[in-house]
Amino acid sequence: MYVIYKELQRCRDNGLKGVLGTIISTEGSTYQKTGAKCFITEDGILTGLLSGGCVEGDLKEYVQEILASGLSRIVHYDFQDDGDIVWGLGLGCNGKMNVYLEPYLPGDRNRNPAIIDTFFSAAQSKTIHRITIVASKDESLSGTTWLIDPASRETPNIPFQEILQDYYSKRCLQKNGLSSIGGQSDLLVFYEFTEPPPELIIFGAGPDAIPLVQIAKTLNWHTTVLDYRTAFVTRENFPNADQLIVYPAGTVPDIAIHHNSYVILMTHNFIQDQIILENVLKMSPAYLGVLGPRKRTDQLIGTSEVLCADPILHHIHSPIGLDLGSKTPEEIALSILAEIMVAYRGGTGSRLSEGEGKPTIRTEKEREVVLKP
């Protein structure tokens, strides 16, 4: 979302048009899942991927048509047979997907590009839901979009009662997907539930924090670096960080920490780490890791009455990171963010080659049996 958001800004600044592509349904094995997006500008720049790159090449063929008509459309891709090889894509994903293409026309009030701008802008900082009519017997309804702030107590201003009721039945699942709404218009509606990018909060601006920020920004995460040492918290050291905060030693900075915050303690100062740990733990971040050996973390806890009495000590990750055999600061940063990614995405951290999808390796004799007519 973030990279497309930045590209939309470039288009607005330069008066460029574009086409936003969204996967609205999938079947079988596909490179990306429902809700994934790409954006193609009229000057040919592609941002985001829906496949290994081949589908995007085909989607570019629709750009001029959609920009000229100003109308959205659905494009269907089927990779479940050899047709895609003949067709020239040859992805071999063994799946199907439908991609919804909608024009982005800055300056055209009739096409309402502001709804796309608002959606991507809001998604950078809060949860936002989007409802779009992607197909209808009444063509004038196709492309109609509503944005909903789930934190608001106001009833969404949606004139279709069937859509409103269907949305309320699905919002608790937070699952992107299509829904068919009956009635005169026979509406096909796409529900999209987005959350802001994860926020990486690093207490400690030493040299070992620099590669952490670099990798986190490559992942398009929001990053905040905090330290009591003014000389460390500089734009020279952290040119890509979203926020740099200096706070007085012996205190805890006033910063919002929530369910989408991933916190790392690496001040290398025992007292400072202890004070922060006492306060941050009770804020229930999504992840809380402490750099250093487990013995040091045990000392942080054992010498603190506050921490010893905390019932959620098991939420602390220490030692921090996955066992990748890391040695350099960059490798250690990678192992830390790998563990955080497991917490964020719900993975296991195990080798994919050892999972259920591991290829079957047959002997030459076994292959002869399989190939025998």
Find out whether 170 and 162 touch, Cβ atoms under 8 Å: no
pLDDT of residue 51: 82
Taken in order of first residue, the domains within the chain and their CATH numbers are 1-125 (no CATH), 127-196 (no CATH), 199-345 (3.40.50.720)
215-272 pLDDT, tens per residue?
999 998 999 999 999 999 999 999 999 999 999 998 988 898 888 899 999 999 999 9
- pLDDT tens for each residue of 147-165: 999 988 888 889 999 999 9
Residue 57 phi/psi, 5-degree rounding, is: -60, -40
Provide, rounded to the nearest whole percent, the portion of the chain with pLDDT above 90. Answer: 59
CB 127 within 8 A of CB 194: yes
pLDDT tens readout for residues 99-138: 999 999 987 765 567 899 999 999 988 899 999 999 998 8
Question: pLDDT value at position 365?
Answer: 47
DSSP output for 176-244:
-EEEEE-STT-EEEEEEEE-PPPEEEEE--SGGGHHHHHHHHHTT-EEEEEES-TTTS-TTT-TT-SEE
pLDDT for res 334: 96
